[in-house]
Structure 1
Amino acid sequence: MRARRSIHWVLAVGAGVVVVAVALARLAWLTPPPPEPLVIAIADSLLGVPLRVAEQEGFFTAQGLAVTLRLYPTGKLALDALLRGQAEVATVAETPVVFAALAGEPLRVIANYASSGETSLVARADRGIAELADLKGRRVGTSPGTTAHYFLHVLLTDQGLTEADVAVVPVPAPEQAAALAAGRVDAVSTFAPYSTQCRLALGENARTFPAGLRYNGFASLVAVPDFSHRRPEVALRLLRALDRAILWMRGHDPQARALTARTLGLPEAVIAETWGRLRPNLALDQGYVILLQAQARWAIATGLAPAAALPDFPALIDPSALRRLHPESVTVIGTP
């Protein structure tokens, strides 16, 4: 009898252990893994907006990412932060990528997330600048090594001029409006929101020459070289979150403008000036490579970079994460 009670006690204890084990297993299954940390350096400009949307609308969190956005005045400075090891991913337009590639810096482009024509040249009418041809002999400020610098080259080429026909003055983007208003330069080649700040600083004295069909750039996600292979799921989640942000922007245009105005600290009317020139879209296409090659030739020909062979730009593009999300969006030739 006593032996029977012992057996029942053992069976009861065993059953209890099984119940506890099942409960713990169920709890572990229901408890989500901790979010993956990720530091992204972004331009505090129009090109950084899709990332700000993803943050503020909770799309990073929904993908299990704990993202830290570090803000920089330009994409070039954001890329510099990545190259210093202060971020794993950066948002940047194509021109800084060209100069980094020519310098042999390690990086990989994992996606373009927007095309943009938001670059402009703003000039002082009281310096006799009514047409682009009037730039000859003038002092033109720009942020060297950025898309605005290349855009200046495009404008001058359209007029049969070269950079030798003007005095190119290096001016950091946040200081351009003040430099133009004070007359230290006659014109500024820049991008939003600094182009708008320049126009507002001059008021009726401003003459603005937008990019129009002359120049269309790309906003890209650039990562440390092994990012997509060392953290493939994080790379995929990042693109998913950004894809959600882009779709949200398309379907919530008024809210997206208001969010942009708040994050950049500008009136919505100012944002509206260049809003339509930002075209968010996840892709990696051959036009991007062609533009990189054209800008590299410009940098070498003008002595802005040491004379060298063109970098193998397709080798700097890592489409692995985007192929998993939107394989039809990858049309670059010669990528791994």
Structure 2
Amino acid sequence: MKNLRAGRLVSLRQRMLGWIAAGVALALVAALAWHYTRPSVAVVAPLPLTLGLPTQAASGAFFVAEQRQLFSRHGLVLQTQRYPLGKQALAAVIEGRADMAVVADTPYVLAVAKGNQIAVVSTVFGSRKTAALLVRVDHGVRSAADLRGRRIGTVFGTNAQYFLDKLLEHHGVGASEVHIVDYAPAGLLTALRDGEVDAITTWQPELARLQQALGTKVAALFEQDLFVYRFLLVGKVGFVDSHPQEVQRLLAALADSHQYMIDQPLEARQTVAAAIGLPPQLVASFFEPVDYGPSLDQSLLLALDDQTRWAQQRQIINNRAMPNYLDYLRPQALQAVLPSAISIIR
């Protein structure tokens, strides 16, 4: 009986080994068949692109994409040039030192008014909590009404100047009732800290730094119902029209970056904080992942028209003709990547 049982076990083991061997052989045959009959997949050649990028909170989606290597994953060899201001990044495009740039809407309007053929590919940031008028409370300034007779620092030719004019107009303070001084960004911060001015227009991350440094000496007036701090992804019309793949890959990387910011806001906030040199807890006061979504919507066109009229009235630009900004939009890349982000009425 024992010999019979032992024989059956040996026979069972032999059959199991045979089944296993047969299975391995079939898997190998299937793998070889797939290898030689699979459809060919084209290798995507990496494409170079140079981007002018302001070191501001508005560039957050780019910082996250860079940290997570999303540009290379989408087939871009991206070289970034860092600037304090978006208008400096735009100047790099105009002068041929960069292919594309991230810039606020006001410098873009002024560039178009000067005859530059610059296309808008997408809005890449829009916030109501990033720009503010920072006032010296210890100088007796607590509201916009207290600005009469005061010195206010701003940066001419930027959305900071536009924001200041809109704020003064909204509160009935005439331009002749204040003294507005043009500063470079670094000088602007020093002027407020040293008491040369009673208020400045500023933005993140400088706003958070000054609030931390000056504490109760200052207060921020955001005017959230009045102004959207908006940044655009732009390039020369000729470049954008002749390099559709580069533009599309860049926007695809940004779309992935934005989704990551929504899914992992704490990690994204830490990345942005490191990029702009702020502690994460300070960034938490203004960081909103929803602000970083790529889009092209009607509010952009309205803002560009309004800023053009403002610049004409202030005689910042001499060209009295109103550009048709639809002619400068290039929605094709965003349409291919994220069609739901487009809501332009043509």
- TM-score band w.r.t. shorter chain: 0.7 to 0.9
TM-score (norm 2): 0.85
Q: In 2, distance between residues paired with 1:295 and 1:155?
A: 14
CA deviations on 1:40-93 (whole Å, 9 max, x unpaired) are 001100011111111110110101100011111011111111111111110011
Residue 66 (1) aligns with residue 77 (2): yes
Residue 260 (1) aligns with residue 272 (2): yes
Report if the CA contact (8 A) 1:314-1:333 is conserved: no
Give the corresponding residue for 1:35.
46
Q: In 2, distance between residues paired with 1:333 and 1:206?
A: 42
Give the corresponding residue for 2:306.
294
Q: CA deviation at 1:218?
A: 2.0
Residue 79 (1) aligns with residue 100 (2): no
Q: Which range moves more in the overlay, 296-305 or 167-176?
A: 167-176
What is the aligned counterpart of 2:341 among 314, 325, 329? 329
Report if the CA contact (8 A) 1:292-1:313 is conserved: yes
Q: In 1, distance between residues paired with 2:289 and 2:106?
A: 18
Report if the CA contact (8 A) 1:43-1:92 is conserved: yes
Q: CA deviation at 1:166?
A: 1.3
Report if the CA contact (8 A) 1:284-1:331 is conserved: yes
Q: CA deviation at 1:278?
A: 6.4
Q: In 1, distance between residues paired with 2:204 and 2:85?
A: 10
Report if the CA contact (8 A) 2:298-2:345 is conserved: yes
Q: In 1, distance between residues paired with 2:340 and 2:215?
A: 46
Q: CA deviation at 1:229?
A: 2.4
Report if the CA contact (8 A) 1:176-1:198 is conserved: no
Residue 284 (1) aligns with residue 296 (2): yes
Q: In 1, distance between residues paired with 2:311 and 2:240?
A: 29
Q: In 2, distance between residues paired with 1:146 and 1:44?
A: 15
Residue 155 (1) aligns with residue 145 (2): no
Q: Which amino acid aligns with 1:302?
A: R
Give the corresponding residue for 1:91.
102
Q: Which amino acid aligns with 1:48?
A: S
Matched residue of 1:273: which SS? Answer: coil
Q: Which amino acid aligns with 1:114?
A: F
Q: In 2, distance between residues paired with 1:277 and 1:130?
A: 30
Report if the CA contact (8 A) 1:228-1:320 is conserved: no
Give the corresponding residue for 2:197.
185
Q: CA deviation at 1:326?
A: 2.3
Q: Which range moves more in the overlay, 144-153 or 63-72?
A: 144-153
CA deviations on 1:99-157 (whole Å, 9 max, x unpaired) are 11111112100111221121101111122101111111111111111111111112101
Residue 114 (1) aligns with residue 125 (2): yes
Q: In 2, distance between residues paired with 1:164 and 1:69?
A: 42
Q: In 2, distance between residues paired with 1:333 and 1:309?
A: 21
Q: In 2, distance between residues paired with 1:278 and 1:155?
A: 25
Q: Which amino acid aligns with 1:240?
A: A
* Structure 2 residues not aligned, in runs of 5+: 1-36
Residue 215 (1) aligns with residue 227 (2): yes
Q: In 1, distance between residues paired with 2:140 and 2:289?
A: 28
Alpha-carbon distance change, 315 to 256 in structure 1, aligned in 2, over 3 angstroms: same
Q: Which amino acid aligns with 1:181?
A: R
Residue 103 (1) aligns with residue 103 (2): no
Q: Aligned Cα RMSD in Å?
A: 1.9
Report if the CA contact (8 A) 1:178-1:201 is conserved: no
Return the index of the structure with the highest Cα Rg: 2
Alignment of 1:5-20 (within 5 A): none
Matched residue of 1:61: which SS? Answer: helix
Q: Which range moves more in the overlay, 56-65 or 156-165?
A: 156-165
Q: In 1, distance between residues paired with 2:287 and 2:341?
A: 23
Give the corresponding residue for 1:142.
154
Q: Which amino acid aligns with 1:130?
A: R
Residue 229 (1) aligns with residue 231 (2): no
Report if the CA contact (8 A) 2:113-2:319 is conserved: no
Q: CA deviation at 1:30?
A: 7.5
Give the corresponding residue for 2:25.
none
Matched residue of 2:133: which SS? Answer: strand
CA deviations on 1:199-225 (whole Å, 9 max, x unpaired) are 233222112112322211322100111
Identity %: 31
Q: In 2, distance between residues paired with 1:272 and 1:211?
A: 20
